[in-house]
Structure 1
Amino acid sequence: MGNQTSVNRALTLINEGILSGVDSITLEQLAEKLGITSRYLRELFKTYVGASPKQYALYQQLMFAKQLLHQTTMPITEVAFAAGFNSVRRFNEAFAQELKLTPSAIRKQHAAGSMKVQANSINLKLSYRPPFNWAHMRAFYQLRAVDEMEWLGDNSYGRTITLGKVRGYFTAVHNSEQSCFDINIVFTDTDGLLQLKRIVSHIRRLLDLDADLIEVEARLSLLGNALPKINTGVRIPGVWSTFEAGCRAILGQQVSVEQAVKLLKLLTAHYGERVTVGGQEVLFFPSAEAISKAELTELKMPGLRKSALRALAVFVSECPDSDVEQWLKIKGIGPWTVNYVRLRGLSAPDCLLADDLVVKNQVLANISSDPQESELIDIIHAKDKAAIKSYYLEKSQLIGQAISPWGSYLTFQLWSQQ
């Protein structure tokens, strides 16, 4: 369980390009980030991935480069740097050694269908494996959308993005016939293309495009009366950053989703920044620095939650690369908040929010509808709150073990059926 979690975290970071490009770190630094030794990290990859971390990272770079060569008219030099190679020579060598091809040969094969790249803009197709319940994801985003920072159409979702010094926005249009999203990414300047691999990885995470829902739902189907009906194709709608997810979670403590979104809109409108990108004025989520200095008088909520919001902003400003588990040190941030951040800010696959009220009520309602669950039915009739709490604690732990490593998908299944 712990080993798989470490591997998943490493894969996510590598997919984002942490071992490639001008801002890359060493394997030893990656291992330190994961809290393990580099030797142990290599052993885990040999067991779970069948390749070393560097081999896996190189493969991901090459696959992304192939996608750019297939789908765009970007010059080969720009493709090399966008894919995280620090020189064209190394790019060509890697293609020849690993794929037995040259970049120019791939470009010639696919030149006719390639899309033109404008100075600060790029179009790509990002595929997924069906099923994909777009109606569910769209409705989830729509209910929580912040005006000017996010926008939705019948088949599309878009939002502003920040990654280091790179800013811009993307719009993803769902193409169910081709099982993909047509993505348009617009940057404030051409430097955004140097972070393209990381940005595309973030977009794939937001839309949960890499999930194998066939495997996930096969496991969900084994839960019996805890989940009697599966809402097929439900995925994890992500949030762009852990900081934004943390702010959403704090604002959502002990209030309805609608109330939380009102607070979120106020926070973003007052402390976010409006910038014209590609001829369109858009709104960016406030930085941790901006919120750390804010009075937050516009937010009508308890002072303790305002303090927690500012404290989180201060912590993230000072420790931008900290693990979200360290947020538990902050007064006003507990396990539910951190788990929500893991669920949506990191898109961790195994995060069953057992303490969430909707999850708890759905599980108990599903189980109590089974006549064979006489123990639960009796304590519900007796209105024995302590017994119900004890029963649910034990049952949720068993369910979490049974569904691992797909607890996040159970959370969203239960939320979708409330």
Structure 2
Amino acid sequence: MTTPELESDACYLALKAHDARFDGSFFTAVTTTGIYCRPVCKVKTPRRENCRFFRHAAQAEAAGFRPCLRCRPELAPRAASWSTQDASRILALQAARLIDEPDAWPDAAEGDAPGAARIAQRLGVSDRHLRRIFEAQFGVSPLQYLQTRRLLAAKQLIADTQLPMTQVALASGFASVRRFNAAFIEHYGLNPSAMRRAGEHENGAGRRQAIEVRIGYRPPYDHAAMIDFFGRRALRGVETPLPGARPGYARTLRVTHGGATHTGWLRVEIDVDRQQALLQVSESLAGVLPIVISRVRGMLDLDAEPMAINATLHASFPLGDGVRVPGTVDGFELAVRAVLGQQITVAAARTLGSRLVEALGEPIETPIEGLTRLFPSPAALADADPDLLGRMGIVRQRQGALQALARETRDGRLRLHAGADVPLTLLALQALPGIGDWTAQYIAMRALRWPDAFPSGDIALQKALGVGGAKAAAQASQAWQPWRSYAVLRAWHTPPAAATSNPQDAPLADAVTT
């Protein structure tokens, strides 16, 4: 089924130009080969009459096409999963986001990925209603969409790791190796071991010391601003910027999923020529590679759709077309750092965060200089002695906010990830002591990946917009919906003419209350 809203001639022109702006926005299936590709694929351009165009990879696979081993559709940026349009479209995109985000199901055991019935239950609708609106939006059923996601996740593990096939199957959401093998043969016409051999031949890949993955993004992308954002906030022991001809960023991380905890490190660089992020991950995280990749996509905002965003924001921020919204690989960590950063400068918040890591962070060995600790776990912070926190320079009111946040996260009542329900999470955050609107909106912007978050009380934002007060800032932002998170970052990167200091170092407006 070809998605009707796609303009085939425009798609073919983008394919001929290998235009990375459209990467992940559609896929081209070639009838003479039975293979579907990304628009950026470097193979010889097929004849127009042999091409079919699909909005989603799941549609191409449902039509009987196999993914290209060269351009690897699983590496393409994901399509937008937010909408302010009609309720049915919003619900369908929410369902897709729950399928796309493995962190939405942290308690699922290996091989127990959610099915359509569980997704419908999470959204509060019937299975039948979800299938109807999902098929209207995506052209495939939730089960077909989910199956494609599982297969593409498995394909990436097969290509980029040496994990045994049993682990590949379970990590990708298959309940058994038998079902995994059957799905592969049915969809791709060869078994997983044969695909691994074919991929090694195609890519010249052999056994490597660490996992290496390429993840595509759509230009323009101000990667220098992104790396600088993380570098200026880097906590000692946990993260470090990587200087050089191709600047990058490295950090440690902890992934808890299905009752098991995995720890390790990652490093990432931006390949501007290929419009790709080059991700290297420690072997200790191989079993949760789909989760790590999803988190890195969010951290670097690799799935952003600049053409849609710039259509709304370019007139107001003409120099900000490539600016993205920095995310996080750990929603709890981001929330803690947001609380620590209330009413103080970036440098002061970095100092407090580094002290917290030194006192409560678990040691870890890595091959990267400067990466020696994990960020403190929710349990470690929840159980910390208040006197110890006080000696770090964390005032009592902020201690209460941090430990309440840690307890809610530790006990599973608060989930801070891209698959979370935004309105409910905002309410839960603001019900905690010491967390007001600014902090909640900032967390929604970076941890929940909500593109329309807007911390109107931020003093630096108000100055950049040339307005006085939160109400005036909120009124000024209405024309930027649903991309106000991007407007915030662009405003921070565009200080007013009379500014004498960097707006990102200005005090933030959220007062800590008890």
Q: TM-score, normalised by structure 2?
A: 0.68
Shift of 1:16: 3.2
**Would the aligned equivalents of 2:112 and 2:174 in 1 still touch at CA under 8 Å?**
no
Of 260, 273, 276 in structure 2, the residue corresponding to residue 180 of structure 1 is 276
Maintained 8 Å contact 1:220/1:230: no
What is the aligned partner in structure 2 of residue 170 from structure 1? 266
Residues 130 and 213 of structure 1 are in contact (CA less than 8 Å); yes or no, is this contact kept in structure 2? yes
Query: 1:166 offset after TM fit, Å?
Result: 1.0
1:148 aligns with 2:240: no
1:332-411 aligned within 5 A: 332-364=434-466, 391-396=472-477, 398-399=478-479, 403-411=480-488
Query: Does the aligned pair in 1 maintain the 2:215–2:278 contact within 8 Å?
Result: yes
| Contact in 2 for aligned 1:20/1:57 (Cα 8 Å) | no
Whether the 8 Å contact between 1:73 and 1:116 is mirrored in structure 2 is no
**Cα deviation digits, residues 141-188 of structure 1 (max 9, x gap):** 011111221121132111111111111111112211111122111144
Contiguous gaps of at least 5 residues in structure 2: 1-83, 496-514
Structure 2 match to 1:200: 293
Rounded Cα–Cα distance in structure 1 between residues aligned with 2:115 and 2:178? 21
1:52 maps to what in 2? Answer: 141
Point out the more displaced range, 292-301 or 333-342.
292-301
Match of 2:335 among 227, 246, 258: 246
Distance 2:434 2:442 in 1: 14
Which residue of the other structure, out of 289, 295, 303, is the alignment partner of 2:396?
303
More helix by share: 1
Rounded to whole Å, the distance in 2 between the matches of 1:247 and 1:228 is: 30
Q: Give the TM-score taking structure 1 as reference length.
A: 0.82
Is 1:417 the counterpart of 2:505 in the alignment?
no
Partners of 2:439 and 2:89 lie apart in 1 by: 23
CA contact (8 A) 1:71 1:124 kept: yes
Find the partner of 2:225 among 136, 139, 144.
136
**Residue deviations 1:32-66 (CA, integer Å, cap 9, x gap):** 44455545543443343333333222111222233
Q: Distance in 2 between matches of 1:233 and 1:66?
A: 31
Shift of 1:284: 0.5
1:16 paired to 2:118:
no
- Superposed CA RMSD in Å reads 2.8
**Do the aligned partners of 1:148 and 1:283 also contact (CA within 8 Å) in 2?**
yes
Q: Give 1:240 deviation, angstroms.
A: 1.7
Which one-letter code corresponds to 1:394 in the other structure?
Q
Q: Which whole-Å CA distance do the structure 2 matches of 1:181 and 1:173 have between them? A: 6
Shift of the 337–42 alpha-carbon distance from structure 1 to 2, 3 Å rule, reads farther
Amino acid across the alignment from 2:397: L
Q: Comparing 235-244 with 74-83, which one deviates more in the overlay?
A: 74-83
Report deviation, 1:100.
Answer: 4.2
User: How far off its partner does 1:117 sit?
Assistant: 4.4
Corresponding residue SS for 1:97: helix
Provide the rounded CA distance (Å) in 2 between the counterparts of 1:8 and 1:356. 30
Task: Return the alpha-carbon distance in structure 1 between the equivalents of residues 434 and 351 of structure 2.
Answer: 20
Q: Distance in 1 between matches of 2:290 and 2:412?
A: 24
The answer as to 2:195 corresponding to 1:106 is yes
Q: In the superposition, relative to structure 1, how do residues 61 and 259 fare at CA in structure 2: closer, same or farther (>3 Å)? A: same
Q: Distance in 2 between matches of 1:274 and 1:308?
A: 25
One-letter identity of the residue aligned with 1:271: L
Q: Is the 8 A contact 1:28 1:38 kept in 2?
A: yes
Q: Show the counterpart of 2:410.
A: 317
**Equivalent of residue 250 in structure 2, options 140, 154, 158:** 158
Aligned residues: 385
Distance in 1 between residues matched to 2:413 and 2:131, nearest whole Å: 26
Change (3 A) 1:44 1:150: farther
Per the TM alignment, residue 395 of structure 1 is displaced from its structure 2 partner at its CA by 2.9
- What pairs up with 1:54-133 in 2 under 5 angstroms? 54-72=143-161, 74-112=163-201, 113-117=203-207, 121-133=210-222
- Residues 241-273 of structure 1: CA distance to partner in whole angstroms, max 9, x if unpaired? 221111111111111112111111111111111
Q: Is the 8 A contact 1:167 1:187 kept in 2?
A: no
Percent sequence identity over matched residues? 30
Task: Report how far residue 305 of structure 1 moved.
Answer: 1.5
Whole-angstrom CA distance in 1 between matches of 2:413 and 2:367: 29
Question: Shift in Å at residue 125 of structure 1?
Answer: 1.4
SS at match of 1:162: strand
Describe the SS at the equivalent of 1:352: coil
1:213 aligned to 294, 302, 306, which one?
306
State the distance in 1 between where 2:321 and 2:164 align. Answer: 41
Distance in 1, matches of 2:414 and 2:185, equals 36
Q: CA distance change for structure 1 residues 196 and 391 in 2, over 3 Å: closer, same or farther? A: closer
Structure 1 distance, partners of 2:352, 2:297, is 28
Confirm or deny that 1:290 pairs with 2:371: no
In the aligned structure 2, how far is the partner of 1:319 from the partner of 1:341?
17
1:282 aligned counterpart, secondary structure = coil
CA–CA distance in structure 1, aligned partners of residues 441 and 171 of structure 2: 33
Provide the residue aligned with 2:57 in structure 1.
Answer: none
